[in-house]
């Protein structure tokens, strides 16, 4: 990996640095003037900035840590022990003029997950997938192939990498097809099927799981994939004591036209040439407490978003865990399905 993959200048925006951190896949970037080390920015810094409603178009200098840990190339230091001592995962090596020479990482590759989560996962797989017609007229959405695996198998693989091995799958449309696929599959997984008697929506179907859990659990749509550290998401949820935490992706949209702002009297106040806007969007991945299920009416069609709003109205603590747009893939529509296939194919190759 090239050193330039980790270097950013102070004039970069938060959004630009997010993309750089996504690209280097190490969760960190170093702010430099040319190659002189000035500061450091982590994905955690950006996440906290987003939660404070920070503007992604602002300069990275607003959130950079200008007192970074580093060692010089003339020091005789045990890099691994140093990083352990200061609870950091990356250590810049500089010369006497603070020119960045190299970076040492606590983990050469993605660290092995030692803390097996053992948290159950609910996969909402009962919908008809009408936006993916004609595919879903033949195959149910959970079984649509992405490469040599179905989307549901890929979702399960990602959770199992973090020790989440039990799956409760809510099924309805073409349910026997789905059940047969997993029962007859040569790769055996711990899957329990919950059958809807009617179509209850993304919220109503969860009511069927009332009484199943005594502790926290994940819920995911069957047409999305979030490539994030699930242990960090779970840790954040528990620290915040939320009834539900939504995993939300940052989106930045540029309007391809010049826009006009008016005064209350209808006069032109301001012209904006191709302005951009940042916002958070619901990915379809959640962390829930069992009492969330108490909020859902029985035998009723209701969206999970409506249940979440009811929790907010009742004064419950609802939180979000922001991730980058690049970490989220959605195959809910034909165009997005092809993008997911391309992304995952490139990741493998």
* Domain-wise residue ranges, the chain: 3-105, 121-348
Give the pLDDT score at 30. 96
Asked if residue 7 has a cis previous peptide bond (ω within 30° of 0), the answer is no
Q: Specify burial of residue 269 (Cβ count, 10 A radius: 0-12, 13-18, 19+).
A: exposed
Q: What is the mean pLDDT of residues 7-32?
A: 91
| 3-105 under CATH 3.10.580.10, yes or no | yes
The span from the CA of 219 to the CA of 143, in Å, is 18
CA atoms lying within 13 Å on the CB side of residue 296: 26
User: What DSSP character marks residue 20?
Assistant: H
Is the Cβ–Cβ distance between 272 and 261 less than 8 Å? yes
Q: What is the pTM for the complete model shown?
A: 0.81
**Which pLDDT band, with edges at 50, 70 and 90, does 349 fall under?**
very low
**Residue 115 has what pLDDT?**
57
CATH topology for the 121-348 domain: Spore Coat Polysaccharide Biosynthesis Protein SpsA; Chain A (3.90.550)
* Cβ burial, residue 85 (10 Å; 0-12/13-18/19+): exposed
Mean pLDDT of the 307-312 span: 97
pLDDT for residue 146: 84
């Amino acid at each position: 990996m090239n050193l330039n993959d980790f270097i950013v200048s102070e004039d970069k925006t938060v959004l630009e640095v997010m993309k750089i951190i996504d690209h280097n896949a190490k969760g960190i970037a170093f702010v430099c003037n040319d190659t002189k080390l000035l500061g450091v920015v982590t994905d955690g810094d950006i996440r906290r900035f987003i939660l404070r409603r920070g503007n992604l178009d602002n300069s990275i200098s607003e959130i950079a840590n200008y007192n970074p840990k580093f060692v010089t190339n003339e020091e005789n230091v045990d890099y691994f022990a140093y990083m352990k001592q200061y609870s950091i995962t990356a250590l810049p090596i500089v010369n006497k003029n603070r020119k960045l020479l190299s970076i040492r990482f606590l983990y050469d590759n993605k660290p092995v997950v030692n803390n097996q989560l053992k948290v159950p996962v609910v996969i909402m797989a009962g919908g008809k997938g009408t936006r993916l017609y004609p595919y879903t007229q033949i195959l149910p959405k959970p079984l649509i192939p992405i490469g040599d695996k179905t989307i549901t198998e890929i979702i399960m693989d990602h959770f199992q990498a973090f020790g989440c091995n039990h799956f409760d799958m809510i099924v309805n449309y073409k349910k026997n097809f789905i059940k047969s696929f997993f029962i007859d599959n040569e790769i055996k997984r711990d899957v329990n099927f919950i059958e809807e008697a009617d179509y209850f929506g993304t919220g109503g179907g969860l009511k069927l799981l009332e009484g199943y859990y005594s502790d926290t659990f994940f819920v995911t749509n069957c047409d999305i994939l979030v490539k994030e550290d699930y242990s960090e998401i779970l840790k954040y949820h528990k620290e915040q004591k939320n009834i539900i935490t939504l995993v939300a992706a940052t989106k930045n949209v540029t309007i391809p036209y010049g826009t006009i702002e008016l005064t209350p009297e209808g006069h032109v106040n301001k012209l904006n040439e191709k302005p951009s806007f940042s916002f958070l969007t619901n990915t379809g991945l959640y962390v829930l407490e069992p009492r969330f299920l108490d909020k859902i009416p029985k035998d009723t069609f209701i969206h999970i978003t409506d249940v979440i709003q009811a929790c907010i109205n009742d004064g419950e603590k609802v939180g979000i865990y922001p991730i980058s747009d690049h970490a989220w893939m959605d195959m809910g529509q034909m165009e997005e399905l092809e993008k997911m296939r391309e992304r995952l194919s490139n990741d493998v190759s």
